[in-house]
Amino acid sequence: MTDNAQKKFGRREFLGAATAAAGLMIIKPELVRGTAANTAPRMGLLGCGGRGTSEGTEFVDNTSARIVALADLFPDQLEKAHQLFDEHQKAKGYAAIDTSQLFVGPDAYEKIANSKEVDFILIATPPYYHPQHLETVVKAGKHVYCEKPVAVDVPGARRVLKIGQQAEGKLSLDVGFQIRNAPPWVELTRRLQGGQIGKIACGLAYYYCGHLDRPDWPNASPEEKRLRNWVWDRTLSGDIIVEQNVHVIDLCNWILQGHPVKAVGYSSRKYRPDNGNCSDNFNLVFTYPDDVQVSFGSTQFDNPEFDAAVRFFGTEGSAEGHYDWRMSIAGKEPWDAGLGGKQQSGQFSAAGTFKGTLDQADAEKEKAFVESITSGQFHNQATQGAHSALSGMLGRNAAYSKKDLTWDELMKSKEVYDPHLDISKFA
């Protein structure tokens, strides 16, 4: 292999690496519905907000799945999604969604979980509700793709670990850490775990993001505003480090093949303009096994540009990977992903649209999930999802207390996040 070939890794090679990592799967359509007559897995969407409708559309575009059921607390979100998917799926020759499969209100999650018309469900509700919704879907015998984080507190994460045990070998349970399926990240991780920069000594991870705008909802009650704008609410979201920044923490867990054992740091709320209670910055040090320390920082207010990345420094080189532009290794065995490009600005990450290293992340993740169902080679990412959420909680709770916090101490926590919301009034 030439020096240039070692430094450049093209799109075709990335796809090959991702396929190898996922493993070859033989699709058995009869496992979806008991018949080969219709090979399109029937999908239900629980949570028809921005992320839910965006990801639902991607499932239709990138896989053989078709959306047959929708559920949401609010009628307006449900109807908007209904119109969107009927129009979008019409181009693929799919029938309109049957009105009997439109579920609204506080018990909508139970109704869609128990629908006989659904094979798998995408959960895109506020994170506080994820353990409850995940448990209901698995109990109903449905495959499930749950958006991250899987929980906002330790008891919730423990609940998810038990749900994973219930699903093992019976259902596919995936968690929305799609970066683990992005071909450039698959290749970078393979090289780092293979020792290309030697023994990793320390690292750096950060997620610098602009403020997340939400509508004002002038006619809504305070309770409704909290639910609709849950990304501003610490209890409903888990705060920015658990809800959003957890992506780069998950990357550290993946690359280092474990979770942090200790964290120390600080957080504050200084410049956010919204009326919520989430922090707008975190600055921490995570300690991983073998005393590998990773400095972590994040912001969520109006910065001039967006950047999320991880960097690792080893005995024979260093590596860096960004969400939307550069990915490379320097040292004895240099490598460059060949992506180039200019760092992007704006809030594209919040909308699920990416540039550069993540162009194929969602598509590859969605394909792998659907193939796990149709092949019968079921996934179970409950432990991975719970450990990454807990890693975010470790950093969050350490920052709140301004004291060192170990993983073992965190796992003893019985603190339950309770938004004190009575959603029955939305019936």
Residue 404 has what DSSP assignment?
A: -
Domain assignment of residue 168, yes or no: yes
Show which of 126, 153, 177 is a domain's final residue. 177
> How far is C-alpha 61 from the geometric centre of its chain's CA atoms?
19
Query: In sequence order, which ranges of 257-381 are alpha helices (DSSP H)?
Result: 348-351, 361-375
Do 130 and 47 lie in one domain? The reply is: yes
Q: What is the pLDDT of residue 6?
A: 34
The 10s digit of each residue's pLDDT in 172-189 is 999 999 999 999 999 999
CATH code, 127: 3.40.50.720
Domain assignment of residue 375, yes or no: no
Do 141 and 168 lie in one domain? The reply is: yes
Q: What is the pLDDT of residue 305?
A: 80
**Section 83-97 average pLDDT:** 96
Using a pLDDT cut of 70, give the percent of the chain over it.
Answer: 87
Domain assignment of residue 53, yes or no: yes
Do 94 and 236 lie in one domain? The reply is: no
Domain assignment of residue 396, yes or no: yes
Strand positions, DSSP E, 170-215: 173-175, 200-209
Do 170 and 186 lie in one domain? The reply is: no
Domain assignment of residue 278, yes or no: yes
Half-sphere exposure of 366 (CA within 13 A, CB side): 21
**Section 125-150 average pLDDT:** 98
CATH code, 314: 3.30.360.10
Burial class of residue 207 in the structure, from the number of CB atoms within 10 Å of its CB (0-12 exposed, 13-18 middle, 19+ buried): buried
Average pLDDT over the chain reads 89
**Section 11-17 average pLDDT:** 36
Give the C-alpha distances (Å, rounded to integers) separating 147 from 5, 131, 243, 323, 365. Answer: 37, 11, 10, 19, 12
Show which of 177, 208, 226 is a domain's final residue. 177
Other Cβ atoms less than 10 A from the Cβ of 332: the count is 12
**Section 416-427 average pLDDT:** 96
Domain assignment of residue 201, yes or no: yes
- Ranking 3-7, 234-238, 345-349, 397-401 by mean pLDDT, the lowest is 3-7
Do 37 and 143 lie in one domain? The reply is: yes
Domain assignment of residue 414, yes or no: yes
Do 284 and 257 lie in one domain? The reply is: yes
Q: Which amino acid is at 172?
A: S
Do 166 and 259 lie in one domain? The reply is: no
Query: In sequence order, which ranges of 40-182 are alpha helices (DSSP H)?
Result: 50-62, 75-90, 108-113, 130-139, 154-167
Do 158 and 231 lie in one domain? The reply is: no
- Assess whether pLDDT exceeds 90 at residue 375: yes
Rounded Cα gap, residues 296 and 291, in angstroms? 15
- Ranking 5-14, 25-34, 44-53 by mean pLDDT, the lowest is 5-14
- Assess whether pLDDT exceeds 60 at residue 382: yes
Show which of 177, 203, 228 is a domain's final residue. 177
- Ranking 9-13, 165-169, 316-320 by mean pLDDT, the lowest is 9-13
Q: How many structural domains does the chain have?
A: 2
Do 231 and 296 lie in one domain? The reply is: yes
- Assess whether pLDDT exceeds 90 at residue 13: no
Range of the domain at 329: 179-359+381-426
Do 251 and 389 lie in one domain? The reply is: yes
Do 145 and 244 lie in one domain? The reply is: no
Tell me the whole-structure pTM to 2 decimals: 0.89
User: Where is pLDDT greater, at 325 or 269?
Assistant: 269
Domain assignment of residue 11, yes or no: no
Q: What is the pLDDT of residue 40?
A: 86
Residues forming a β-bridge with 67 = 43
Q: What is the pLDDT of residue 338?
A: 83
Do 273 and 403 lie in one domain? The reply is: yes
The 10s digit of each residue's pLDDT in 224-251 is 999 999 999 999 999 999 999 999 999 9
Rounded Cα gap, residues 284 and 420, in angstroms? 30
Cα angle 188, 193, 199; round to 5? 115
